[in-house]
């Protein structure tokens, strides 16, 4: 039977009737040589979510993981006959199987959680894309050698150029292309302050139980702590929510 590619929220319901298999694989680029900051964040957020749900999986690092993904997004999992790419569809797929981190929240709290998750993606993920693909020094010193790691010349230059053009177009569509680096850090600072206010003195964002928001923020914090960059101001800006790294056990 051929694999079924799942990228839409409606389609993920198809997998709900089957139990979670023991041989689920999570695909990502190579950690040491290849993966970039935005993908590190989403990969680690997905890993954290699955572990928080107690769902077994193994990590499969592939040089062509992005090309293997049905949506081009990372990470993606192979679960039985299903292939699901990116964090939101993976979370939705797990939800159909009864695995969720937010069942204890009421409707208002769930709406708040989704709003904060949108804030993280709109600001932190966009800032990571900006640093990797728009900031010239980072692009030349970090992004280009890592993204082109597994591709021979001249295809490496072509693919990197196409990817950069795609990301810059995305940044332009959300009005980030004309920002200066200080503007980006101001956006990140405001986002982190909002997250810190939501967290307060709680263990997690919604009390003493983890949610999908905790997994997502964990992914971004842990990513910036392990990714080499020319400017480490993001690590400083994350200081008020950094203690989450020590509480997840993921």
Q: What is the pTM of this model?
A: 0.91
Q: Would you say residue 213 has pLDDT above 70? A: yes
Q: Does domain 107-246 have CATH number 1.10.3470?
A: no
The predicted structure's pLDDT at residue 201:
87
The predicted structure's pLDDT at residue 227:
83
**Per-residue model confidence as pLDDT tens digits over 93-121:** 999 999 999 999 999 999 999 999 999 99
Q: Would you say residue 22 has pLDDT above 80? A: yes
Q: Would you say residue 5 has pLDDT above 80? A: no
Please say whether the beta carbons of 31 and 223 come within 8 A: no
Element (H, E) at 5: strand 4-6
CATH of domain 4-96: 3.40.30
Residue whose tokens read 């949506």? 71
The predicted structure's pLDDT at residue 250:
46
* Domain residue extents for the chain: 4-96, 107-246
The predicted structure's pLDDT at residue 243:
66
Sheet containing 82-85: which strands, arranged edge to edge? Answer: 4-6, 82-85, 76-79, 25-28, 58-61
Please say whether the beta carbons of 210 and 23 come within 8 A: no
Residue whose tokens read 């909002």? 194
88 against 234, higher pLDDT: 88
Please say whether the beta carbons of 18 and 8 come within 8 A: no
Residues 6+ apart with CB under 8 A from 151: 159
The predicted structure's pLDDT at residue 3:
55
User: Considering only CA atoms, which of 148, 118, 126 is closest in space to residue 37?
Assistant: 126
118: phi then psi, degrees, rounded to nearest 5: -65, -40
For the chain, what percent of residues have pLDDT higher than 90? 78
The predicted structure's pLDDT at residue 237:
82
**What confidence tier does 1 reach under pLDDT thresholds 50, 70, 90?**
very low
**What confidence tier does 148 reach under pLDDT thresholds 50, 70, 90?**
very high
The predicted structure's pLDDT at residue 236:
82
């Amino acid at each position: 039977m051929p694999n079924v590619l799942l990228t839409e929220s409606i389609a993920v319901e198809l997998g709900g009737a089957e139990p979670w298999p023991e041989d689920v694989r999570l695909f990502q680029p190579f950690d040491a040589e290849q993966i970039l900051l935005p993908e590190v964040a989403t990969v680690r957020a997905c890993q954290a979510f699955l572990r928080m749900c107690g769902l077994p999986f193994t990590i499969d690092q592939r040089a062509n993981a992005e090309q293997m993904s049905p949506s081009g997004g990372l990470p993606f999992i192979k679960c039985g006959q299903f292939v699901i790419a990116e964090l939101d569809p993976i979370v939705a797929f797990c939800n159909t199987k009864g695995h969720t981190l937010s069942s204890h929240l009421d409707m208002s709290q769930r709406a708040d959680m989704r709003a904060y998750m949108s804030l993280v993606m709109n600001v932190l993920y966009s800032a990571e894309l900006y640093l990797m693909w728009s900031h010239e020094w980072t692009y030349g010193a970090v992004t280009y050698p890592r993204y082109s790691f597994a591709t021979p010349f001249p295809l490496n230059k072509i693919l990197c150029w196409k990817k950069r053009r795609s990301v810059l177009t995305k940044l332009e569509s959300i009005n980030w292309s004309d920002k200066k680096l200080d503007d980006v850090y101001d956006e990140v600072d405001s986002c982190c302050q909002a997250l810190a206010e939501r967290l307060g003195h709680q263990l997690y964002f919604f009390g003493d139980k983890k949610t999908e928001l905790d997994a997502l923020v964990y992914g971004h914090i842990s990513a910036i702590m392990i990714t080499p960059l020319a400017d480490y101001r993001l690590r400083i800006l994350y200081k008020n929510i950094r203690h989450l790294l020590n509480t997840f056990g993921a």
